[in-house]
Structure 1
Amino acid sequence: MKKSVLVMGALIAVTAVSCSKKDSNEPQPVPDVAIVNVLEQNSVAQEDTLVFKVKAAPGSTLAWAVDGKDAAVKDTLFKFATTDLGEHTITVTASKNNLQASSKANITVYGKYKYGTFVLNEGNMTSDNGSLTFISPKGVVTDSAYFKANGTHLGNVTQDLYIYRNKIYIISQNGKKNAVGNGFNNDGLLVVANAETLKKEGAYNDELSTLSWPTHVAVLNEENIIIRDNNGLYRFNPLTKALTFIKGSRSAAKLTMAVSNNKIFAAAGSKVYVVEADKDTISFGLDMKASVSGVVKASDGNIWVSTTGAPSKISKINFRDYSLIRANDVTAGSVSAGFGATPGITAKGDTLYFSGAGTKLYRHIFSLGTTEFMADAKTMVKDANIVYNNIAVHPITGEVYLNTIKGYGPAYLTNNTSVFNMADKVILNANYQDHTRFPAGIFFTWSF
């Protein structure tokens, strides 16, 4: 009996065990074997494929296994894909001259929806439920992702989502009823699902029945879900089922809320409200002296605030004491939020983008105080007639995403999710056609 360990460059360590019928002082040949991880990835999303190949002595017989179970593959190449989350061990065994050697690779499989871009769709309020479109980092689109994971639909007129500690919270305006009061077969007003798999973990309807057209959700912790409706802001505790109105919040605007330093920052007319966990009254109301069109978390934890007026401004607010760090005039374009429910600005680092809910894209570099027109998406994307909710910048790549529809009525079925490289010369990097249904917003998993 003889044991040896083989290491080949940056390849995976190999432990080889060989036996002969008769021990001998003569050295026994051990078949060389090593796994090569072709894509050099140690983790992969559900259903995605990793490719392994083997380096083995010529004439060796090969056998692949996953977690100790024979994979029924004898070739030098092995493609691995699974829906099972967690750690997995890929093993290849080479046999030759009654001797064997094995090589192993350990990989991790995470949920299909852990990394990527969500487009939340309102649907047609009189005939459709809300839905969720997912774009993977490789550009693969999954339509109706929530339905495919659960076999049930999101509520009617879905408006906003938030991801917190591997859970995704999705709020709808009408829940189980459509605009004319007819019942819809769906999971209702607030749905909570696993953020990696989209498997439903909870749905809340009767507990939220006093809400009037809820539109936005943000989460401080599992017992402090903040919901905005026509009356203001509420704190919902899903453990006790208590829904508590937050005093002083009546004018909270129909705009996405920002979360930083365990606080909610919400637009409210000319003010920005601050809400803290376990408190039933707003903690602070910051007066911006002009109509607030967007509240967005900055990469350093501070808060970007856009205001419309003469002139429009982009301001940076200290998230600790709510003091003004700096305010810049916007010298071109519009930071208006338009008719939708998403902020008039979007930011990556020191660079902000806005379009005034139109197709003309602008860039503002805050440290320089400069604003410039970048491109008109209408000249680059066919049927980009109506912008449906505002643009959003990818927090990693810096690409700007824009949702457009051809028109109302049946024309909304002709639509685009366009992705722009915002270098000095704007380039259309990708365009996903006819996947949205009145898109309520664009959400990147890396933003949460």
Structure 2
Amino acid sequence: MKKSVLLLGAGIAIVAASCSKNDTIESLPAPEVTIENMLSQNSVAQEDTLIFKVKASQGSTFSWAVDGKDAGIADSIFKFYSDALGSHTITVSASRNERKTSAQTNVTVYGKYKYGTFILNEGNMTSDNGSLIFISPNGAITEDAYFKVNGTKLGNVTQDLFIRQNKMYIISQNGNKNAEGTAFANDGLLVVANAETLKKEASYNSELATLSWPTHIAVLNDENLIIRDNAGLYRFNSNTKELTYIKGSRSAAKLTMAVSNNKIFAAAGSKVYVIEQNKDSITYALDMKANVSGVVKASDGNIWISTVGSPAKISKINFRDYSLIKANDITTGSVSAGSGATPGITAKGDTLYFSGAGTKIYRHIFSMGTTEFMVDAKTMVENAGIVYNNIAVHPITGEVYMNTLKGFGLNYLVNNISIFNFSNGVALSANYQNSTKFPAGIFFTYSFN
């Protein structure tokens, strides 16, 4: 405030005041500003986008920053994406009349591959290595994802994968040699990668050289990687690199193993073996009285078991004492695993699906004991000639995934990943064409939580 004095007659002085520009600005209110999260998400995968909008007093101008660095955006809309994992602070500043107010929000970026669906490809055993397809929750497909991250290939004839504590374990049949014994450039028999980013963390070849065509893996901890091969089950300690045969496991079947209550359940003919950590022999052999075609963890921690006797059955087994909770006869459709290496059944809650390794899908409601035919994939999917390994139900959406080939020979190049939705009739949610190379299985990240 500037003041001046005017002298008048009779000794009277009048003080006049005038306001400067700064005084006028300081008397105006600062702009109000808030950030609106347009997608209502505080976390996002690498390469995906979150959208923010600033709400501020009329006449304001804006600037955005991420972690204190100017983002170079002056618009009211800010699209955030980042490859850097972890927490990030987004700040917007609104300016008006040379006064500035800021607002901020925090977001978390997680690995691109943390949530979604993986299709593991065997590849061609004589000319090609294994590979990994990823389908994000919004349906975007990434082919050969492991190679795109690492610049190297998975082993020859990859067969199975398992996720535990942010690590992905991928086992292959031939490792760094093809079926004819010719050396192949790849990352070997067992590859361990970060489950969020797919960045390779370790690989094992010579340590597992005594294995004969390994096919499946299940993990309890770093000291207990359970691997199945033609001779049975082995315990591999990834810290000491020691491989130990588990006595009594010779008949272990070429089928996915289930993990519950820190135990592994493995099919073996008419039995289901129970393997516990740090033990060199099986803990228990549950006799199902008929050939086991699938062992799957139930959502309550118990174990689903399918058998192909007469009649076929789906049984639920207590994971603590291995007692039978209930068994249902299956007289419609088939729960056979076929010639594949994945279970003949797949489950979401009380609902199970099976196809007998064929194109006809059936649904069984266990609590009601009812089975119904849902669809023949051939009526909705072109070139669905052969189902390669079994169907799998998404544990969140309830959609059923099926991998089909037009046929063998060069016809394997014509293929489909088909996703069926049965929530309201029968619908084909999505169909990805010509992406697979002899798909070994369908794996949902949510199944390993």
Q: Shift in Å at residue 28 of structure 1?
A: 3.2
Residue in structure 2 matched with residue 5 of structure 1 by the alignment: none
Q: Shift in Å at residue 76 of structure 1?
A: 1.0
CA contact (8 A) 2:384 2:404 kept: yes
Q: Shift in Å at residue 22 of structure 1?
A: 5.8
Residue in structure 2 matched with residue 97 of structure 1 by the alignment: 97
Residue in structure 2 matched with residue 402 of structure 1 by the alignment: 402
Q: Shift in Å at residue 422 of structure 1?
A: 1.8
Partners in 2 of 1:423 and 1:36 — Cα distance? 33
Residue in structure 1 matched with residue 372 of structure 2 by the alignment: 372
After superposition, what is the alpha-carbon deviation per residue over 1:316-362, rounded to whole angstroms, capped at 9, x for unaligned? 11100111111110010100001110000000111110000000000
Q: Shift in Å at residue 135 of structure 1?
A: 0.2
Q: Which amino acid aligns with 1:300?
A: D
Identity of aligned residues (%): 75
Q: After TM superposition, list the pairs within 5 Å mapping 1:53-64 onto structure 2.
A: 53-64=53-64
Partners in 2 of 1:108 and 1:175 — Cα distance? 37
After superposition, what is the alpha-carbon deviation per residue over 1:291-331, rounded to whole angstroms, capped at 9, x for unaligned? 00000001111100000021101011110011111111001
Q: Shift in Å at residue 58 of structure 1?
A: 2.5
Give the TM-score normalised by the residue count of structure 2. Answer: 0.94
- Secondary structure of the residue aligned to 2:148 is helix
Residue in structure 2 matched with residue 385 of structure 1 by the alignment: 385
Partners in 2 of 1:367 and 1:72 — Cα distance? 58
Structure 1 residue 271 corresponds to structure 2 residue 271 = yes
After superposition, what is the alpha-carbon deviation per residue over 1:203-262, rounded to whole angstroms, capped at 9, x for unaligned? 000000000000000001111000000000000001000000000000000000000000
Q: Which amino acid aligns with 1:128?
A: D
Partners in 2 of 1:348 and 1:356 — Cα distance? 18
Q: Which amino acid aligns with 1:349?
A: G
Residue in structure 2 matched with residue 156 of structure 1 by the alignment: 156
Q: Shift in Å at residue 423 of structure 1?
A: 3.1
Residue in structure 2 matched with residue 262 of structure 1 by the alignment: 262
- Secondary structure of the residue aligned to 1:83 is coil
Q: Shift in Å at residue 433 of structure 1?
A: 1.1
Q: Shift in Å at residue 24 of structure 1?
A: 9.0
Partners in 2 of 1:26 and 1:255 — Cα distance? 75
Residue in structure 2 matched with residue 14 of structure 1 by the alignment: none
Residue in structure 2 matched with residue 3 of structure 1 by the alignment: none
Q: Shift in Å at residue 373 of structure 1?
A: 0.9
Q: Shift in Å at residue 34 of structure 1?
A: 1.4
Partners in 2 of 1:301 and 1:25 — Cα distance? 66
Residue in structure 2 matched with residue 8 of structure 1 by the alignment: none
- The answer to which of 111-120 and 24-33 deviates more is 24-33
Residue in structure 1 matched with residue 14 of structure 2 by the alignment: none
Q: Shift in Å at residue 27 of structure 1?
A: 4.2
Q: Which structure has the larger Rg?
A: 2
Q: Shift in Å at residue 87 of structure 1?
A: 0.3
Partners in 2 of 1:436 and 1:299 — Cα distance? 29
Q: After TM superposition, list the pairs within 5 Å mapping 1:260-409 onto structure 2.
A: 260-409=260-409
**Structure 2 unaligned residues grouped into runs of 5+:** 1-19
Residue in structure 1 matched with residue 8 of structure 2 by the alignment: none
- Secondary structure of the residue aligned to 1:357 is coil
Structure 1 residue 36 corresponds to structure 2 residue 36 = yes
CA contact (8 A) 2:306 2:335 kept: yes
Residue in structure 2 matched with residue 139 of structure 1 by the alignment: 139
Q: After TM superposition, list the pairs within 5 Å mapping 1:142-291 onto structure 2.
A: 142-291=142-291
Q: For the structure 1 residues 379 and 26, does the alpha-carbon distance in structure 2 shift closer, same or farther, using more than 3 Å as the test?
A: closer
- Secondary structure of the residue aligned to 2:78 is strand
Partners in 2 of 1:95 and 1:427 — Cα distance? 52
Q: Shift in Å at residue 32 of structure 1?
A: 1.8
Aligned length: 429
- Secondary structure of the residue aligned to 1:53 is strand
Q: After TM superposition, list the pairs within 5 Å mapping 1:407-422 onto structure 2.
A: 407-422=407-422
CA RMSD in angstroms, aligned pairs only: 1.4
Partners in 2 of 1:97 and 1:350 — Cα distance? 63
Q: For the structure 1 residues 247 and 58, does the alpha-carbon distance in structure 2 shift closer, same or farther, using more than 3 Å as the test?
A: same
After superposition, what is the alpha-carbon deviation per residue over 1:351-386, rounded to whole angstroms, capped at 9, x for unaligned? 110000000000111111111111101100001000
Q: Shift in Å at residue 427 of structure 1?
A: 1.1
Q: For the structure 1 residues 101 and 237, does the alpha-carbon distance in structure 2 shift closer, same or farther, using more than 3 Å as the test?
A: same
Partners in 1 of 2:162 and 2:131 — Cα distance? 15
- Secondary structure of the residue aligned to 2:367 is coil
**Structure 1 unaligned residues grouped into runs of 5+:** 1-19
Residue in structure 1 matched with residue 114 of structure 2 by the alignment: 114
Residue in structure 1 matched with residue 12 of structure 2 by the alignment: none
- Secondary structure of the residue aligned to 2:358 is coil
Partners in 1 of 2:26 and 2:132 — Cα distance? 66
Residue in structure 1 matched with residue 5 of structure 2 by the alignment: none
Q: Shift in Å at residue 60 of structure 1?
A: 1.8
Q: For the structure 1 residues 43 and 424, does the alpha-carbon distance in structure 2 shift closer, same or farther, using more than 3 Å as the test?
A: closer
CA contact (8 A) 2:25 2:98 kept: no
Runs ≥4 residues deviating over 3 A: 20-28
Q: Which amino acid aligns with 1:339?
A: S
CA contact (8 A) 2:216 2:254 kept: yes
- Secondary structure of the residue aligned to 1:236 is strand
Q: Which amino acid aligns with 1:305?
A: I
- Secondary structure of the residue aligned to 1:447 is helix
Q: For the structure 1 residues 330 and 424, does the alpha-carbon distance in structure 2 shift closer, same or farther, using more than 3 Å as the test?
A: farther
